[in-house]
Amino acid sequence: MAMRVVALAGNPNVGKTTIFNALTGMRQHVGNWPGVTVEKKEGVFEYNGERFLVVDLPGTYSLTAHSIDELVARNFLLNGKPDVVVNIVDATSILRNLFLTMEIFEMGIKNVVIALNKMDLAEKKGIKIDVKKMGEIMGVPVVPMSAKEGIGLRELKDIIHRVSHGEISPAPIAPRYDPEVEREISHISNILSETELSKRYPLRWLAIKLLQRDDEVMKLVLRYLGEEKLREIMTHIGEAEERYGRAMDLILASQKYEFIDNLMHKFIRYMKSEGPSLTDQLDRLLIHPLYGFMTLALVFYVIFKFVFALGLPLQKILGDAFSSFGTWLAPHISSEVLKGLIVDGIISGVGTVLSFFPLVFLLFLSLSILEDVGYMARVAVLMEKLMRKFGLPGKAIIPLILGLGCNVPAVMATRSLDDEKDRLVAMFINPFIPCSARLSVISFITAAFFTSNHALVAVSIYLIAIVVALLSAKFVSSFLVKVEESPFVIELPEYLIPSWKTVLLHSWERSKEFVKKAGTVILVGSLVIWYLSNYPVPMGEGKSYAERIGMFFEPYMRLMGLDWKAAVSLLFGIIAKENVISTYGILYGSEGALVGVMSTLQAYVLAIVTTLYIPCIATIAAIRMESNWKWAALVTFYMITIASMIGIIIWHVGTALGY
């Protein structure tokens, strides 16, 4: 028997992910919705011997198709035919949350269950909710919950089971508007009733969306009624707006809130609160224009100290384990070709990436903790004004900061951005942020060539990279993607102690995707590099393909003061940036030999070019998975161009100044 489908819908930060994880545990899968980069999470739970498929819809404030998240959620509710829709409502913000509830009801969806989450917080804030009366007034079952504490979970499963089997028949209340607005809705509904649309969609919902000038519904009506009839409807709506003196979407939203407010008075009471809450007191510090930035710097300093202090030793252990495995396996393989393929190609290449798993997991763990605590929303508010100057929303700072650790999870973290265009821009510039692998190259070069002031040199490289990233964001958002500035709306949730089960599950799911995506591409890339290094003849007995490629690019590299060996090293650096230095060591006999054959200016150019040029294969793969091959190719071409231009400029200016 096919599993019954349960859709989870709700605003951002209402505890939807916590409920999803509590229901499904480890039996969940993360992917993308077809055709878009919005994350799709599915999982399974069992109750009374029956399996239920849970689909976690993107968090949205409404179901008007303004963003891709709203469109994905709405399309699934309309066309996915879920057996039960669980609408998660934050008990501390009922008025705002029930706006989405009413939009679900207007779609004609009957099988709705309200999961009234954060009841413990509501009580602490003096909010008294009569849950039974609320259910009677709303016309649907209401389950009081505190998902973080696991309270109400069994009751929710039971209600889902009973609704899906028809034992409970919800009868959601329909939002009503002023008589004048209702007449407009009836007028448009009558026009639409003459088409096939009446068999596929609720006419009242279509009429309301037309009044709101919903683009997707207008396209739908155009397809069924034709341009002339649609123009007639829109002209009528325009005339109505002239009479009211306001846009219909504002009128509908205002009256919907009035309708909700009238309902709430019947089942909710607010007790007096004593002074400012802890959240209010913390926000005075954390989103302060001065202290907020100081706190942000401190928080992420602590995070990276934690990630590197714990992650780097674990990375070394994993790296040594793969190296030891390769050393142990080598004598057992008689064929030299097969030995090179397996040991130098597969084990070495894939082992390099897999050794980064502890860093990636700890980064995601830290991010998940900050999200669960409620701090990430404050970071977005704090950075909004600055980031907007460069064509990005404040929330884009989060994946950019993640890029300092590893660009692969940072690219994946762009999913947290609401707008598709914002995601593309953030994805485009993220590889410019120097990751921990490039940090190793920068550290080696600055320590070897700039002994007296290597810290200052390293900082200058980071500053150049960050400035290039921000200016590139401005360029891409102005000319390539044309990002339109939208109003900044974000929920500032209460500060909470994180649910460790949720944090660990979320971190594991993200990290698992990293291994899956990066590992497969690294395997192929490693084999290619191994082949280029060893054919048509083994290295040392003639010119391999890699050496020939290096010689081919040498005239170009000379423009930056570098030789053919730099071309080969940068080529190998596509697998992992550490390879830039290790390849030089192979070509010169040792990494230390670099100091004798390269000037400080050449070393600085190499460090800059290594930082800014094409990202590693794993990052390219992540960009491709989150967008498409065209965007990944464009990012690659752009980065090579920018790195080359800056390398050439620094070399010629430095030479002219006598360095």
| Residue 26 pLDDT | 65
Bond preceding residue 58 cis, omega within 30 of 0: no
Task: Name the least confident of 43-47, 502-506, 535-539, 553-557.
Answer: 535-539
| Residue 507 pLDDT | 78
Angle between helices 357-373 and 291-329 (to 10 degrees): 150
Mean pLDDT value across residues 352-370: 76
Cα dist from 156 to 25, 101, 160, 408, 440, whole Å = 15, 17, 6, 37, 50
Give the three-class secondary structure for 506.
Answer: helix
Contact status, residue 115 vs residue 86, Cβ threshold 8 Å: yes
Asked if residue 514 is part of any domain, the answer here is yes
- Does residue 638 have a pLDDT over 90? yes
| Residue 539 pLDDT | 47
Asked if residue 138 is part of any domain, the answer here is yes
Same domain membership, residue 545 and residue 436: yes
Same domain membership, residue 306 and residue 250: no
Same domain membership, residue 533 and residue 450: yes
Q: Mean pLDDT for the chain? A: 83
Full domain range(s) for residue 539: 275-659
Asked if residue 317 is part of any domain, the answer here is yes
Last residue of a domain, which of 164, 190, 220?
164
With 0-12 CB in 10 A as exposed, 13-18 as middle and 19+ as buried, what is 239?
exposed
Which range in 55-69, 154-168, 469-483, 555-569 is most confidently predicted, on average pLDDT? 154-168
SS3 for 365-388 is HHHHHHHHHCHHHHHHHHHHHHHH
Same domain membership, residue 351 and residue 382: yes
Asked if residue 47 is part of any domain, the answer here is yes
Model confidence over 62-92: pLDDT tens digits? 887 667 778 889 999 988 889 999 999 999 8
Same domain membership, residue 454 and residue 372: yes
Asked if residue 657 is part of any domain, the answer here is yes
Asked if residue 173 is part of any domain, the answer here is no
Question: Which has more confidence, 315 or 160?
Answer: 160
The number of folded domains in the chain is 3
Same domain membership, residue 465 and residue 318: yes
Same domain membership, residue 503 and residue 624: yes
Same domain membership, residue 659 and residue 518: yes
Same domain membership, residue 218 and residue 86: no
Question: Which has more confidence, 445 or 273?
Answer: 445
- Does residue 224 have a pLDDT over 50? yes
Asked if residue 170 is part of any domain, the answer here is no
Give the three-class secondary structure for 129.
Answer: strand
Asked if residue 169 is part of any domain, the answer here is no
- Please identify which residue in the block is written with the tokens 């500060």: 495
Beta-bridged to residue 40, according to DSSP, are 31
